[in-house]
Chain A
Amino acid sequence: MEEVDRIIVHSLRSIGCDLEDDVQSLRQFTTEVIVSTVVRCLKVILGDIDLPSSLPPGMSARFRLGASLANHVQDLGYKGGDLGYQTFLYSNETEIRKIFMFLVEKLPKDTSQTADEPMGSSVLLHRAISTELGYQLSLAWLPPYLKDKGVRTRTRPPGWQREGAFCLHHFRGRHISTPRSVGSLTVKIPKELRSYYTNHLPYVTNQTSLHRDTAPSVMETNVLEVASHQEWENEWNQLGLASRLTQQEFKRRKHERLMKMVKERLQQDSQHQNGPDSRAAASDLQQILSNIEAQSKNTGLRSKGSRFAHTEKLQYAADEDKAMTQVGANVATKDTEEEQEKKRQEEQERLRSELANITSDLEKLELEVRKFTAGRQKMEEIIASETKAIVEKKDTFSVKKRTLDLLPQAEDNIAKLQAIVDASRQRLANLAKQWEAHRDPLLEQYRQLGDLNSKRESEAQKKLEEIKQFRERMKETADDTRRKDELYKQLISEYERMTKDVNRSAYTRKIMEIVANIKKQKQEIDKILVDTKSVQKEINLLTGKLDRTFAVTDELIFRDAKRDESVKKAYRLLAALHENFEQLIQTVQDTGVVMREIKDLEEQIETESNKKILSNLEKISADLQQMKKENSGLLAKVKGK
């Protein structure tokens, strides 16, 4: 019961009931407190309702208030027994508890429901934005000169906001120069640079022309540095590592390559420009030609127009001869034009045929040239082969000459030659042996070195792979950390929201405990039920056994009783015994029933005694006395009038 009371008290406090801090259970509630809290609950549930929140002094007013409270609660659907003014004015604990449980359940739950939803970051953000906007909307307008650079500070809730576009300006970064490589002692700074740093370099705050640009400039410079570093890292990861060069070498190579590329591009472009120039010239020529053509057409039109004008003139003048001559002249001019055209065409034809002749001649000449060059090549080849043959023949001639010289002393010479041949053969064998001796270790060494090299190569490859993997993992870990940080922040903010809901976890724990208790109790009850059932069964079994035994005995003795007088007596005794025992059982059962009734009654007595009837009775009699007094006072007043 204490748990229930605490929950009720907590929820009553949360809807704004004015309860003392040390109030923990409903037993401590006085009539006034009960009335005021019930009124508060009804106001929260039903919205607008016209009830005084405190107990009025007049007895009849109290009575009316109690009755209307009872009506409202019943309207809400309360079904726990009869309800009247006495429930509130002369309360007893259990009934009040029931009513409060009902009312607390009926309380609107939107606040607690939203707290149950899982809160995403977007919901949090949305809510934060709407609260912030709500605050800002509720503030009164301030003229701009009361705000410091458009910033308005507020004390409740503490914070600040920008208002209006009055003091906004662009985020504009300028270049900022700072001393470089000053921190490390290894880098030598030139003398003039050092003197510049110490004497002339202005402070960062003085480098921008507008002071408000200082912060953007510094940020921009830092960002630029970070971005360029990242870019380089990226490039190095993707291309640099695979090329297996040092960073400087890689940069140098790229620089060379780029310079070469630029040079090639420029060369190509200049060639292109030469090409299009001629083409442009050709197009210019064409344009001129077409212009000429258009002009000639225009002149044709003009001549026709003039003829039309002339004929008009003729009509008015009606001078036939003149007309004839005019027409004739016109025709003549036309003829000359046609002739010119014809001449031109003829000339064109002639030129064309000439061109064809020349081109055919050119082709023929070209063919001849080709033939000549081919002949020349053939001749050169022949010359080369001939010179070769001459050299060969010279060689053979010298050999033959020497042999012929040797011929006179043939024997001696042969022996000498033999000796020379033998010596040279031996030397050759010797050399071959030596070569073999040198070759083997060298080959061995070569093989070893090759193995070593390949091994090293593969190792390097492996290490490269490893480095790449490590870099990737590094990046992944960094990403992971960032994500987890974000999650942590979000969860923290969520947690902060959650803690406003007072000891919710304690409640859940208690609920769990209660549920466990109930389960245990249920188990006990089940056990007892099983016990009872088994006892019942045993009783049934024994009764059946008794009945059967009695029937058998009865029959047996009855049969014998026909013959024997003493047995007849025994039979009578048996019947009496049976009857007696039956009575006994009946009595035991009756005792059980009575015991149960007694227990019921005791419980009833307890509940009745709980209802504080005596004190309530006293209160009622006191109230009655007061009512009587009031009545007599009223009567006196009436009579006095």
Chain B
Amino acid sequence: MATDKWEAAATVLSKASATDLETVCHLVADSLCADSVLSPDKGLSIWSLEDWWTVRTVLTEVMRMVVGRGWSKEKVIKELGSLNDSLKEIIYDSVLVHQQLLRHKFIEDATAVSHAVLADFDWKLKLAMASDKLASLQEPLLQVDLDVREVSGEHKSVFLELDQSELTKLITSLEMCSKSVQQLTTNAT
């Protein structure tokens, strides 16, 4: 099944020269890592739009397999079928270059299984000089914006405004979290 699909892609892929294919491979890997949209400008000089989509999906699939399933070079060469061997090698090498980042990205996607995931945050420090009750207040306030990704893929912003004691409470709880995370992580490969 898979080989059939990739047989079909092989003809499309062979349209490109070696350097072009290398560039495209890196672009696809980068866009996959950064979770960004890849513009088809680069590919349109070689392929039609439909072919470009095939190329993209095939390359993404190969990356998933090599990084996720740990395919060896031989396996890749076998699976890609009748494609020119030098092109296969280029694809495999370009995946190897990005292996670390891709792996990190896949792990992150796999671990973000809970209902809502913190995607990004921003903060701003303010000094409230006075309020409607007090002429001289001078209370520092921290505004924290949490960018939360829901399970449906939507992004929701949560705004918090914390004074000093609340902030220390938040920080201590986060520190405890980080401690337990530290116990559960290692960067040994």
- Using a CB–CB cutoff of 8 Å, the interface residues on chain A facing chain B are 122, 126, 129, 170-175, 177, 190, 192-193, 196, 199-201, 207, 209, 228, 231-232, 234-235, 248, 251-252, 254-255, 258
Contacts and interface: CB of A to CB of B under 8 A. Distances in A.
B33 interface: yes
B87 to A, nearest CB: 14
A618 B83 CA distance: 123
Interface of B: 22-23, 26, 30, 33-34, 36, 93-94, 96-97, 101, 120, 122, 127, 129, 138, 178, 182, 184-188
B23 A200 contact: yes
B89 to A, nearest CB: 9
B26 A200 contact: yes
Given A174-B34, A177-B101, A209-B36, A192 B94 contact: yes
A251 B94 CA distance: 28
| Secondary structure call for the A interface | helix
A254 B30 contact: no
Given A251-B187, A255-B186, A255-B188, A196 B36 contact: no
A616 B22 CA distance: 105
A196 B34 contact: no
Contacts of B187: 228, 232, 251
B112 to A, nearest CB: 16
A196 B188 contact: no
B161 to A, nearest CB: 17
A200 B97 CA distance: 11
A109 to B, nearest CB: 23
Contacts of A126: 129, 138
Contacts of A254: 186, 188
B182 A231 contact: yes
B94 A248 contact: no
B188 A193 contact: no
Given A126-B129, A170-B122, A196-B97, 10 more contacts: A174-B34, A177-B33, A199-B22, A207-B30, A209-B36, A248-B188, A251-B186, A251-B187, A254-B186, A258-B186
B129 A175 contact: no
A251 B188 CA distance: 5
Given A171-B122, A196-B97, A177 B188 contact: no
Given A122-B138, A175-B33, A200-B22, A192 B186 contact: no
Given A177-B30, A200-B26, A255-B188, A193 B182 contact: no
Contacts of A232: 187
Nearest to A190: B96
Contacts of A231: 178, 182
A362 to B, nearest CB: 47
Nearest to B182: A235
Most buried by B among A172, A192, A254: A192
A129 B129 contact: yes
A162 to B, nearest CB: 13
Given A126-B138, A192-B96, A200-B22, A252 B188 contact: yes
Contacts of A255: 186, 188
Contacts of B122: 170-172
A172 B120 contact: yes
A129 B93 contact: no
Contact of B184 (A174, A234, A258): A258
B25 to A, nearest CB: 9
7 contacts: A170-B122, A175-B33, A177-B30, A177-B33, A207-B34, A231-B178, A251-B188
Contacts of B186: 251, 254-255, 258
B182 A196 contact: no
Contacts of A252: 188
A261 B178 CA distance: 19
Contacts of B22: 199-200
B73 to A, nearest CB: 12
Contacts of B93: 192
Given A122-B138, A209-B36, A251-B186, A196 B26 contact: yes
Contact of B34 (A122, A129, A175, A251): A175
A200 B30 CA distance: 11
A177 to B, nearest CB: 7
Nearest to A252: B188
A258 B181 CA distance: 12
A177 B186 CA distance: 21
A172 B186 CA distance: 27
What are the 3 closest A-B residue pairs judged by CB atoms, nearest first? Answer: A251-B188, A192-B93, A255-B188
Contacts of B34: 174-175, 207
